[in-house]
Chains A and B, each alone.
Chain A
């Protein structure tokens, strides 16, 4: 599992409230990613990070912000949650060697009422 944990694993919140999801890794990988997964869609990239304080937007970044103040932690924030952000959120890291591939966390199921 490449030492990836996500917290919380499940969360129910109300529309308009702020929500922060945390991804933690133990292997000091440079790249970290946040995806959302919805029925009928593949995993879609929200934001990614290529180092401390270095982040960039993915294809579905509207309504989300991220921060990476330490190598091991990548935070995803929904400033004002909406029902359309109900989804399962996956964090991933990129291991660059010996093979360049991604490893995923266990996911966070978020429900916005």
Chain B
């Protein structure tokens, strides 16, 4: 069964610190992997998207990595800010339009 597992479920860090969120998947055949940020009460917003041949992609202070061999991805946040408090969702697509599998998300809280 295609699955996307994220860890940790929740994380609290101090403002200014770095953190790394993990995503493991079993989706096959793989098409792409995306990280979304979801603020409370809003829809998810795309941060990065990576295909099979890409192993790192950055978007400002967000850097995503992908290891297609081990089927793992991570999202690293540098110099966290209060506005980074949100849920981060890992999403993996099969090689078809309809098969998109969402992880349950990591809830990140940044404390001043």
Where chain A touches its partner, the secondary structure class is strand
Minimum distance in angstroms from A18 CB to a CB of chain B:
25
Which stretch of B13-21, B60-68, B74-82, B97-105 is in the interface?
Answer: B97-105
Residue of B with least CB distance to A35: B102
Is A113 on the interface with B (CB-CB < 8 A)?
no
Minimum distance in angstroms from B57 CB to a CB of chain A:
11
Residue of B with least CB distance to A106: B43
Contacts of A101 in B (CB 8 A): 34, 46, 49
Instruction: Please tell me if the beta carbons of A42 and B46 are within 8 angstroms of each other in the complex.
Output: no
Count of chain A residues with a beta carbon within 8 Å of a chain B beta carbon:
24
Given A31-B97, A50-B97, decide whether A106 and B103 contact each other with a Cβ distance below 8 A: no
Is A69 on the interface with B (CB-CB < 8 A)?
no
Is B89 on the interface with A (CB-CB < 8 A)?
yes
Give Cα A40 to B15, complex, Å.
26
Instruction: Please tell me if the beta carbons of B32 and A104 are within 8 angstroms of each other in the complex.
Output: no
Give Cα A100 to B50, complex, Å.
10
Instruction: Please tell me if the beta carbons of B98 and A100 are within 8 angstroms of each other in the complex.
Output: no
Give Cα A106 to B104, complex, Å.
18
Instruction: Please tell me if the beta carbons of B102 and A43 are within 8 angstroms of each other in the complex.
Output: yes
Minimum distance in angstroms from B87 CB to a CB of chain A:
10
